[in-house]
Structure 1
Amino acid sequence: MRVPPFAAVQCVEGPRHTRGTPPNVVETDPRTWLELATGTLAWTEALDGARVTASGTRADLSPLLPVVKF
């Protein structure tokens, strides 16, 4: 998961990757990440609206969202 310029973390199990672009990557802007994490934006809406780029077999984070439930 990349949220430039704030974070780049591995958030699901799998091979560890430390350099270059890994085979499974999700990238978004900070506002979109906060909306996804809090449930105010659905994963499919973010993808359809090109607010998230996700590539690879493990790049679907929808089962893990929202992170924070109110």
Structure 2
Amino acid sequence: MSSAHNKSAAVAATLADIDAGRTPDAATLRDAVRALLSDLAKRAPGRSVEVRVPPYGAVQCVPGPRHTRGTPPNVVEMDPVTWVLLATGRMGWDEAVTQGRIRASGTRADISDYIPM
């Protein structure tokens, strides 16, 4: 089975668990988060925003000034389930912000133009 297929399967399995009201398996959720972060980095190449989904991953993305040292000025952080829901269009950016499910700082931290994917 190809790596891309495994990643798609991880996203599908995670969404199925969420839809059924189950807690996604940690390894499957990790793979889904990493696959979707990778997709974001490809869709919005750059290094001006850091998107963090602890404990599973982080990427730098979005065109603009490059950050190289210390804490990035533009950071978006959320839990893994929120990231999967946002990236797949199951939850909107404004809804997640209003519910306090996203912590975003910096003038470029709104990545809503790049999601869902």
Partner of 2:67: 16
User: C-alpha root-mean-square deviation of aligned residues, in Å?
Assistant: 1.1
Partner of 1:36: 86
For residue 20 of structure 1, report the CA deviation from its aligned partner.
3.3
Amino acid at match of 1:10: Q
For residue 11 of structure 1, report the CA deviation from its aligned partner.
1.7
**TM-score, normalised on structure 1?**
0.87
Relative contact order higher in (CA < 8 Å, ≥ 6 apart)? 1
**TM-score, normalised on structure 2?**
0.53
Partner of 1:6: 56
Q: Which runs of 4+ in 1 moved over 6 A?
A: none
Larger Rg computed on CA atoms: 2
Mapped partners of 1:53, 1:45: distance in 2: 13
Mapped partners of 1:20, 1:32: distance in 2: 26
Residue 61 of structure 2 aligns to a residue whose secondary structure is coil
**How many residues are paired up?**
66
Identity in percent: 61
Gapped regions of structure 1 (runs ≥ 5): none
